[in-house]
C-alpha cells in the first residue's frame, strides 16, 4: 500500500521503520493536517546512546519515530492526529513528539520526556 505523505524509499529516517507504524503515521499526518518531519526513526545502539535514548528504546526495534515540533500549536495538531490514528504511546519531548507502537510496553500513555 502506497502512503500519501511518506516515502520510506526516499527518506533515510524511515529506513527500517515498521510498516504498520508507518501506516499509522501516515494516517496521523492526514488527521493533523500539518507536515510531519521525522527526526529519528530506527536507531543503532550507538546512535541511541549518542542521543541519550533509553536502553530499551522502541527506536532500536523500528517501532518508534520522533517528529519535529516547533511550538505548542504544532504539538496539539500532532498529538490530536496521533490519537485519531490510534497511537497509544505518545511522548512530548523538547522539540519533538515521540510516537511508538511497541506492543510489549505499557499502552495508553502520554509521557513528558
Domain ranges in the chain? 13-112
Residues near 87 by beta carbon (within 8 Å), at least 6 away in sequence: 24, 28, 99, 100, 101
How confident is the prediction for the chain on average, in pLDDT?
A: 92
Average confidence (pLDDT) over 36-46: 93
| 22: phi then psi, degrees, rounded to nearest 5 | -65, -40
pLDDT surpassing 90 at residue 5? no
pLDDT surpassing 80 at residue 85? yes
pLDDT surpassing 80 at residue 11? no
pLDDT band at 1 (very low <50, low <70, confident <90, very high): low
Q: Is 87 within 8 Å of 24 (Cβ atoms)? A: yes
pLDDT at 10: 74
Q: Which SS3 state, helix, strand or coil, does residue 22 take?
A: helix
pLDDT surpassing 70 at residue 79? yes
pLDDT at 16: 87
pTM for the structure as a whole: 0.91
Fold of the domain spanning 13-112: Muramoyl-pentapeptide Carboxypeptidase; domain 2 (3.30.1380)
Amino acid at each position: 500500500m502506497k502512503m500519501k505523505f511518506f516515502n520510506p524509499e526516499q527518506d533515510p529516517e524511515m529506513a527500517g521503520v515498521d510498516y504498520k507504524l508507518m501506516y499509522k503515521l501516515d494516517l496521523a499526518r492526514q488527521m493533523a493536517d500539518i507536515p510531519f518531519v521525522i527526526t529519528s526513526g530506527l536507531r543503532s545502539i550507538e546512535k541511541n546512546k549518542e542521543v541519550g535514548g533509553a536502553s530499551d528504546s522502541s527506536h532500536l526495534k523500528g517501532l518508534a519515530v520522533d517528529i519535529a515540533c516547533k511550538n505548542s500549536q504544532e504539538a496539539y495538531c500532532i498529538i490530536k492526529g496521533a490519537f485519531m490514528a490510534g497511537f497509544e504511546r505518545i511522548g512530548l519531548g523538547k522539540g519533538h513528539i515521540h510516537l511508538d507502537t511497541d506492543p510489549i510496553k505499557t499502552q495508553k500513555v502520554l509521557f513528558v520526556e
